[in-house]
Amino acid sequence: MKVILLEDVKALGKKGDLVEVNNGYARNFILPKKLGVEATGKNINDLKLQKAHQDKVAAEQLAAAKALAEDLAEKSVEVKMKVGEGGKTFGAISTKEIAAAAKEQLDMELDKKKISVDEPIKSLGVHNVKIKLHPKVTATLKVKVSEM
């Protein structure tokens, strides 16, 4: 029997896959637990329409992420840091502080978990920070660290 999976089933397939299973396995396990539906003509057409819609939404999200990456490349944020004698800094700039500065100065919501800093920012000056906007798109934001 052919079945369209509604959820991931271990050792069988992922959500949306069309798989061939034994009649008893389908009737006694997959269908009663609503892990899948029988692959009728209507259900197969619905699956095709769902996949087309998901592809369209994914393409729109990718385009939006690319546009945002280009926008972020031109912008920068300024973060102030406490400095002691001889230009020695106290602590480091965190991703939380960078996200807060971006919200305040650029009016952009950036997730602190998506911001990656190669090495801790412990010095004054301009630093480049990578922001993962999409699995295929990474933007660079300039962070100017100045004295308080």
For the segment 62-95, what is each residue's pLDDT rounded down to a tens digit?
999 999 899 888 888 999 888 888 777 888 888 9
CATH of 72-147, one of 3.30.9.60, 3.10.430.100, 3.30.750.200, 3.20.20.70: 3.10.430.100
Average pLDDT of the segment spanning 98-118? 90
- Which of 113, 124, 116, 119 lies closest to 90, judged by CA? 124
Global pTM value: 0.69
Average pLDDT of the segment spanning 95-117? 90
Average pLDDT of the segment spanning 14-19? 91
Instruction: Look at residue 39 in the predicted model and tell me its pLDDT.
Output: 93
Instruction: Look at residue 36 in the predicted model and tell me its pLDDT.
Output: 94
Query: Which contiguous run of DSSP H or E holds residue 115?
Result: strand 115-116
In the numeric block, the tokens 């933007």 are attached to 139
**Chain center to CA of 55:** 16
Residues carrying CATH 3.40.5.10, the chain: 2-63
55-58 LR contacts (CB < 8 Å, sep 24+): none
Query: Which contiguous run of DSSP H or E holds residue 96?
Result: helix 95-106
User: Which band of pLDDT confidence, cut at 50, 70 and 90, is reported for residue 1?
Assistant: very high
Instruction: Look at residue 84 in the predicted model and tell me its pLDDT.
Output: 83
Beta carbons of 80 and 94 less than 8 angstroms apart: no
Its CATH architecture, for the domain 2-63, is 3-Layer(aba) Sandwich (3.40)
Average pLDDT of the segment spanning 30-38? 94
Q: How far apart are the first and last CA of the chain?
A: 70
Average pLDDT, the chain: 90
pLDDT above 90: percentage of residues in the chain: 59
Average pLDDT of the segment spanning 120-132? 89
Instruction: Look at residue 148 in the predicted model and tell me its pLDDT.
Output: 79
Instruction: Look at residue 120 in the predicted model and tell me its pLDDT.
Output: 87
Is residue 130 helix, strand or coil?
strand
Helix, strand, coil distribution of the chain in percent, nearest 5: 40, 30, 30
Average pLDDT of the segment spanning 110-116? 90
Which residues touch 93 (CB under 8 Å, ≥6 apart)?
Answer: 79, 81, 117, 120, 121, 122, 127, 143, 145
Residues carrying CATH 3.10.430.100, the chain: 72-147
